[in-house]
Amino acid sequence: MQFEGTLRKMSTNFGSTVRYSLRIGEDLLFMNRLLGTIVRIEFSGECHCICGKVNSSFFRMNFCRECFFTRPEASPSILKPELSKAHLGIEERDLEFEKRLQLQPHYVYLAKTNRIKVGVTRNTQMPYRWMDQGAKSAMILLEVPNRYLAGEAEVALKDHFKDKTSWQAMLKDLGTDDDLGAAYERAAQVLPTSLKQYLCQHPEEWHMNYPIRHQIDKVKSISFKAAGDILEGELWGIRGQYLITSTGVFNVRSHTGYLVKLEVG
Q: Which residues of the chain form contacts with Zn ion (CB under 5 A)?
A: 49, 51, 53, 64, 67
Of 34 and 74, nearer to Zn ion (C-beta) is 74
Amino acid letter at 176? T
Q: Which lies closer to Zn ion via its Cβ, residue 67 or residue 141?
A: 67
CB of residue 254 to Zn ion, shortest distance in Å: 17
Tell me how many degrees the CA angle 110-84-104 measures, rounded to the nearest 5: 65
The residue (of 58 and 109) whose beta carbon lies closer to Zn ion is 58
The per-residue DSSP string of 16-39 comes to SS-EEEEEETTEEEEGGGGTTSEE
Contacts 24+ apart (CB under 8 A), 190-196: 190/156, 190/157, 190/160, 191/142, 191/153, 191/156, 191/157, 192/152, 192/156, 195/142, 195/144, 195/149, 195/152, 195/153, 195/156
CB atoms under 10 Å from CB of 213, counted, come to 11
Q: How far is the CB of 170 from Zn ion (least distance, A)?
A: 30
Q: Is the Cβ–Cβ distance between 128 and 90 less than 8 Å?
A: no
Q: Tell the smallest beta-carbon distance from residue 59 to Zn ion (Å).
A: 8
Least separation in angstroms between residue 156's CB and Zn ion is 35
* C-beta of residue 253 within 8 angstroms of C-beta of residue 9: yes
For Zn ion, give the closer residue by CB, 52 or 89.
Answer: 52
Please, which residue, 64 or 191, has the CB nearer to Zn ion? 64
Min CB(69)–Zn ion separation in Å: 10
For residue 260, the tally of other CB atoms under 10 A from its CB is: 24
Shortest distance (Å) from residue 67 CB to Zn ion: 3
Q: Which is nearer to Zn ion, 49 or 208 (CB)?
A: 49
